[in-house]
Amino acid sequence: MNPADTIAAVATPPGAGGLAVVRLSGRQALSVADRCLRSSGGRLPSGFQPRMAVFGEVVRDGVRVDDVVVTVFRGPKSFTGEDTVEVACHGGVLVTRRVLETLLVSGARPAEPGEFTCRAFLNGRMDLAQAEAVADVIHAQTDRALGTARAQLAGALSRRIETLRDALMSVLAHIEAHIDFPDEDITPDTTNVLSARLTTALEGIDALLRTAREGRFLRHGVRTALVGRPNAGKSSLLNRLLGHDRAIVSPVAGTTRDTLEEVAQVRGIPLVLVDTAGLRESDDLVEREGIRRSREAAAEAELILHVVDAAVPWCAEEEALATAWSGKGRICVANKCDLPGALPVPGAIPVSCRTGAGLEALEQAIEERLVSGGVGPGDDGVAIGVRHQRVLERAREAVLQTRSGLEQHQTLELVAFELRVALTALGEVVGKTSVDDLLDSIFSQFCLGK
């Protein structure tokens, strides 16, 4: 990524539609636009009033490519912090390509994935945590995930990181003052005060780390296996949670022969539901392969919905399955509770996939299981990502070493070194100590045009 280049890309998804947006950004954005864009009255983009949509046309070699609406954003008051031009054209695949090609032959180069957002970061329009949140907003699958992403985009995580950095910086300043004036030893009272500040900082880091699990769930979904014996109603439960018929449902046992995956939203949490073949002994080669895949899906799942038939007495086979999954997040679901012969199943949530009875209680149980033990977003909606988790764990270890060294009266230079490690790690969350390799890794995962 060369920040001196002027870049262009289609900012809307590929395919036919009513409109498409082609984005142009860089130091020469207005010069490039002047070569191929004009208003219906003949004015050039460099003369357009900022943030005002202007009807015009794209022209190449004297031939009109398309009628468009052009909006100019002057830097630094733009998404990237540079002069930016957004061209709204007709949304056909060919016409969009022609508009982009016209901008490219006029002096721009194709943008790399995430390059617009990367420039926004490099130009100080947002920090690194906020830049990552742009991708989270785009890829959010549920309202809950979207709310978390928007909170991070608004700076919720960044503010908490800055609070932690300020607290550690004050401790470092105190320690370095004593290094500069070695005759002034740190008194026991001062040591206790600094240690208490470090403990408070650790509590803040731990509070952020507790949100990592939900952050992973919201961003990537919770892999959830629907498992049980044949004809218990696994496919029916899948259809109910999805809200539409996706899996084939039949009274004939063994209908499902392979795993089937779909994403459902349950209480704002995306579940990657995996419908599986019924578990039993079978001589059928195809069914046996399906059963093998079912056990594999259960082993990989983060949550197991153990579906049992409430109209059939609990047996040794069900007990064996329950025992096998006891170490995982397992919720027992007693289906067919509406049938006259239905029996209560201890510890199970009674539901009827036919009538929908009990589904709300099941969804509540799923939510409680996934956010139990204090795991969940922070009070401000923060739920950290995998990169944040790794960095914060490194910061936590360095703060622990700092506190231990201070309390054990180690050399102050060593104590200060550990504290700087913690500050550097915290800085990585918001990009204050970022390196090119880290930026390339993050922004290469973005879509084109963003």
Q: Are 206 and 397 in contact (CB under 8 A)?
A: no
Q: How high is the pLDDT of residue 199?
A: 95
Q: How high is the pLDDT of residue 228?
A: 83
Q: How high is the pLDDT of residue 54?
A: 96
Q: How high is the pLDDT of residue 8?
A: 97
Q: Are 230 and 333 in contact (CB under 8 A)?
A: no
Fold of 218-370: Rossmann fold (3.40.50)
Q: How high is the pLDDT of residue 443?
A: 76
Helix axes 386-407, 212-220, angle to 10 degrees: 170
Q: How high is the pLDDT of residue 112?
A: 93
Q: How high is the pLDDT of residue 344?
A: 85
Single pTM value for the model:
0.78
In 202-347, which ranges are E strands? 222-227, 260-266, 269-275, 303-309, 329-335
Q: How many CB atoms lie within 10 A of CB 245?
A: 12
Strand order in the sheet with 222-227: 260-266, 269-275, 222-227, 303-309, 329-335, 349-350
User: In the CATH scheme, what architecture does the domain 131-211+381-431 have?
Assistant: Up-down Bundle (1.20)
Q: How high is the pLDDT of residue 447?
A: 76
Q: How high is the pLDDT of residue 30?
A: 97
Q: Are 305 and 237 in contact (CB under 8 A)?
A: yes
Distance CA 42, CA 55 (A): 11
Q: Which residues contact 340 (CB under 8 A, 6 or more apart)?
A: none
Q: Block means of pLDDT (10 residues each) for the chain, length 450 residues?
A: 89 90 96 95 94 96 95 95 96 94 96 93 92 90 89 94 92 83 63 90 95 88 85 84 66 53 85 75 59 74 87 81 77 89 85 90 89 56 91 96 90 90 93 68 71
Residue 10 forms beta bridges with which residues? 22
Phi, psi of 440, rounded to the nearest 5 degrees: -60, -40
Q: Which homologous superfamily does the CATH classification assign to the domain defined by 7-127?
A: Probable tRNA modification gtpase trme; domain 1 (3.30.1360.120)
CA nearest 134: which of 425, 390, 385?
385
Q: How high is the pLDDT of residue 325?
A: 78
Q: Quick one: 356 exposed, middle or buried, by C-beta within 10 A (0-12, 13-18, 19+)?
A: exposed
Domain residue extents for the chain: 7-127, 131-211+381-431, 218-370
Can you spell out the DSSP letters for 268-292? TEEEEEEE-PPPS----HHHHHHHH
Distance CA 191, CA 196 (A): 8
* Strand bridging mode 222-227 / 303-309: parallel
